[in-house]
A and B are shown apart, each in its own frame.
Chain A
Amino acid sequence: MHAEAKQHDFEPKIVAFVCTWCTYAGADLAGTSRMQYPANVRVLKFPCTGRIDPVFILRAFQKGADGVLVSGCHPGDCHYMAGNFHARRRFAAFRALLDFVGVDLHRLQFSWVSAAEGGKWVEVVTELTERVRAMGPMLEFKSLEHEEQWSAFQAMADVPGVVNTPELKEAYDKI
């Protein structure tokens, strides 16, 4: 009945921050309509896209997400009148900031998916999953999690003037 699930070397973790009124209902519709989409996506429900703080996106990346999707009501359809308009400006600015800091924006997707657009939800999720899969794991934030302040000094071990004794190295390796 179902197509045989294809085995991939890498299954990306996608975190989706969605608004409860539109995209969550849209994703629900996709489910009740038995549409197939990658199981890589973890849906987190929020009252509104206006509630989604850029910090959440950062935190998702830091805690191991390979891609993040933010999705809500189409402009003009917001349950709270203007939440998504505010979110639109905030995320436009946040994207620019992430880009400047050197984060690959292909891993971050924004979309408007209404409660009636189960098909669009499937399309958005599939496209993001495949794109992130092709890009491989997001290592930037994850590797930061495992680093300490002095890691940078380790990298500069050969640079004269940087204190780096065998004892320090041993202590560092023990951490």
Chain B
Amino acid sequence: MHSSFTRLQNVFGFFTTVAFVLGAFIAATDLGSARTPSGVIKTDNIQVVKGRPHYYSSKKEEYAIIRFSLEADLSSLFTWNTKQLFVYVTADWTSPGGTNNSAVIWDSIITNPSADHLQNLGPVAMKKLKKSAEGKSIAPERGLLKLKNQKPKYQITHPSGKIAETADVTLKLHYNVQPWVGVLTWNMDKPLGVWNAMRGGVSDLFTLPALKSKDGKGKDTKDKSSTKSKKSKKP
């Protein structure tokens, strides 16, 4: 009846029960902390070029490079159960046939200091990151984003190979909260309890420009982005 095996079994059973209840409790605390994300996003310089968007692209196609400015306050998303915040900006548009398209143009992984050591960084960058929040396990200030004339990480394409002069495109700010344990959450269209929907976070409608000819491409880009960045500094 009381063999060492049953004792071991009981201890292990009790351990898993406690761990499970504790995990469920931690996950449930997310519902109690208010979320008030907000953001302002607008486009800067936009270009459409024909070429190979990646080194492994097999064919030449049109792709759009959308520079943008973003000012966001996502600090309320950082709690003790936040492992990382994945912030991403999508370009959304509707094709002439009425089909919806959506593509990520920029993303960023923002870890809570408790997860800094898991980031894939070089030793120098890692040291800097760890130092930026020394002694803290939660760093809400990392949720304050301020980007000006930001270059996109990904150029957008369309399976048809054509994207120039697409009308009614919007940029949209999204986030995904990765918890240490529990349910993953994304930005919501409607509020839920103390979690508010994103305030702002959508750009005005814009139209992609016509295809840029290769001659004078570099010069033009430089001129445009410099004037644009000057403009964006004005309130």
Chains A and B form a bound pair: no
